[in-house]
A and B are shown apart, each in its own frame.
Chain A
Amino acid sequence: MEQLRAMQQAFMGHLLGRPSDIAAAIQSTPEADAPTRLGIYASGYRLRLKEALETDYPQLHAYLGDMLFDQLMDAYIDRYPSHVFSLRDYGRHMPELLDGLDDFPALPMVRELERIERAFNHSFDAADSAPPDPAMLSQLPPEAWPGMQLRLHASVVVLHNRWNSFPVWRALSRGETPPEPVEDTAPWLIWRKALVSRYRALEAPEAAALHTALNGGDFSALCEALLAFHPADEVPREAVSLLQTWITEEMLADIVTDR
């Protein structure tokens, strides 16, 4: 198999744009010589990877325009040959590429748009789970509440941006002219409900409560986080109200108690 292996390595080298002697292994015909025939594969290789990146980042593409986005894709493809079996996962190194760039236009906004689209891609096919039954809360004895663990649905992502990247993303996704970049630190939520990815802005208390739950904190820790925003006697009611919202919005995968 050494011959076949050497041939495959040379062929792959050709696709990756590296020096390769694969043409010597290919028959030429009068209408198409070996380099022409091999060229079909090389251009197909790049096109397919670009298609995968365009599918992952439609609004980043719209924001940058064809020329700049194409530059970004070329840089990505040159740096990251694919080691995954599904093109769905090909773009996974994009944050790394962007972190390493320092002279690309509008980098802060570009990085945040990338995070937003990656979160949407993640929410699209994250693991399923049936939402817990709200009736279980009313049957829960008082002593079970503090240690209750809230497991968020796999699609839930909370994004803290520095810029107004969400309003920019939203305008682009509607085909509108995006607003000028300004600082805007409002947190946003992305998740999936009834099989459709959704998003909404988060108020500070809900964002804090979500962080507690995402980090594995129990219900008492969540209440503690809410103390920063509400008087102590209102915290339990606020916490239960958030919990009910999360259940009806399909943001919870499970509620785990010791009993």
Chain B
Amino acid sequence: MTRPFLGFGLGLRTDHYQYIEDHRPDIDWFEILSENYMVPGGKPLAHLERIRADYPVVMHGVSLSIGSTDPLDEDYLASLKTLAERAQPEWLSDHLCWTQVDHTNSHDLLPLPYNEPTIEHIAGRIRQVQDYLGRQILIENLSSYVTYRASEMSEWEFLDEIARRADCLILLDINNIFVSAHNHHFDPMDYLLGVSPERVMQFHLAGHSHSGPMLIDTHDHPVCDPVWTLYEAALKHFGPVSTMIERDDDIPEFPALRAELAIAEDIAGRTLAAECLPPRLAQGAA
């Protein structure tokens, strides 16, 4: 399989700009939140330019609203394309969700009913987006808290079938699989085994929190042990997949996040063949 493997990265956060520019930490890549850089000028774009000069980046958006029944937002797509020309990302991703209807934006990643008409609708829209951007995109699985009565299949069947019909790639969020498995009572291994390996291009890792009987995808905690275990199973199943940690709240100092990423590197070190690892890790292991 010739899937590109970027190694181990982190989400780029404004709190860490200065540290990264001063210390050039030894990580392989950064994921940027596209919307934060869709601005006319100033600090965000200046820091992006400096950091991009030293690291590969991927773009991760939250506003595509690919599952909406509103028309695709042309202004948003144009900004996305402009930013991609500027940032030259390895790839772009967004979520398998809807965020707005009747031009009213929930600013949330809302779940969809898993059925044939929805698959057909979304696959067509992903193809439109890919045609416009001139490249394949990645779509990511959500954490969700509701199941629609109109759903007729599992989430992984839904995700995989859309990816197949749209000919797009997949960003698997390991924490989201864990959270949704808990909230909707499925086996997370079924999810991993139900997704076409050749389409999985990136993993997300993140922390979550508890709210009564439900798990909530808050990105305000370190990655928990069961999610690390699931990550290990995912690496065993999929082989090397570019991995990063998302942290959006209670953001610690950069070195603490770097140390957390080392856990992922350790797991990969004992799960993957040495020749699959980035050179800086393969040498350390030898």
Contact = CB atoms under 8 A, between A and B. Distances in A.
A26 interface: yes
Interface string B35-47: 1001111111110
Contact of B42 (A1, A11, A82, A128): A128
B117 A82 contact: no
Contacts of A40: 145, 211, 214, 216
Q: Give the 6 A-B residue pairs with the shortest CB-CB distance, closest first.
A: A128-B41, A125-B42, A31-B213, A127-B40, A5-B69, A125-B39
Contacts of B185: 29
A37 B146 contact: yes
A15 B150 contact: no
Interface in B143-179: 145-150
Interface stretch (A59-67, A83-91, A95-103, A225-233): A83-91
A90 B107 CA distance: 10
B106 A86 contact: no
A85 B63 contact: yes
Contacts of B40: 125-128, 154
A32 interface: yes
A26 B148 contact: yes
Nearest to B73: A85
Contact of A27 (B35, B38, B117, B146): B146
Interface residues of B, number: 44
Interface residues of A, number: 49
B39 to A, nearest CB: 4
Contacts of B98: 8
Contact of B43 (A8, A85, A125): A125
Contact of B145 (A41, A87, A195): A41
Contacts of A124: 42-43
Contact of A48 (B69, B107, B150, B214): B107
Contact of A32 (B39, B44, B46, B213): B213
B101 A9 contact: yes
A49 B75 CA distance: 22
A191 B59 CA distance: 30
A82 B106 CA distance: 7
A4 B118 contact: yes
A125 B41 contact: yes
B113 interface: yes
B108 interface: yes
A123 B41 CA distance: 9
Nearest to A23: B146
A120 to B, nearest CB: 11
Interface string A106-140: 00000000000000000111111100000000000
Chain A at the B interface: mostly helix, strand, loop or mixed?
Answer: helix
Contacts of A3: 117, 150
A37 B149 CA distance: 14
A182 interface: no
A9 B103 CA distance: 11
Contacts of A129: 41
6 contacts: A12-B101, A27-B148, A48-B108, A83-B104, A125-B40, A126-B41
Contacts of B108: 15, 41, 44-45, 48
A3 B150 CA distance: 10
B216 to A, nearest CB: 7
Interface string A5-21: 10111011001100000
Contacts of A192: 42
A8 B148 contact: no
Given A4-B118, A12-B104, A38-B146, 4 more contacts: A8-B110, A25-B148, A29-B185, A48-B108
Nearest to B185: A29
A82 B104 contact: yes
Nearest to B76: A85
A34 interface: yes
B68 interface: yes
Given A85-B35, A127-B40, A7 B106 contact: no
B134 interface: no
A41 B183 CA distance: 14
A146 interface: no
Most chain B beta carbons < 10 A, residue from A36, A38, A40, A129: A40
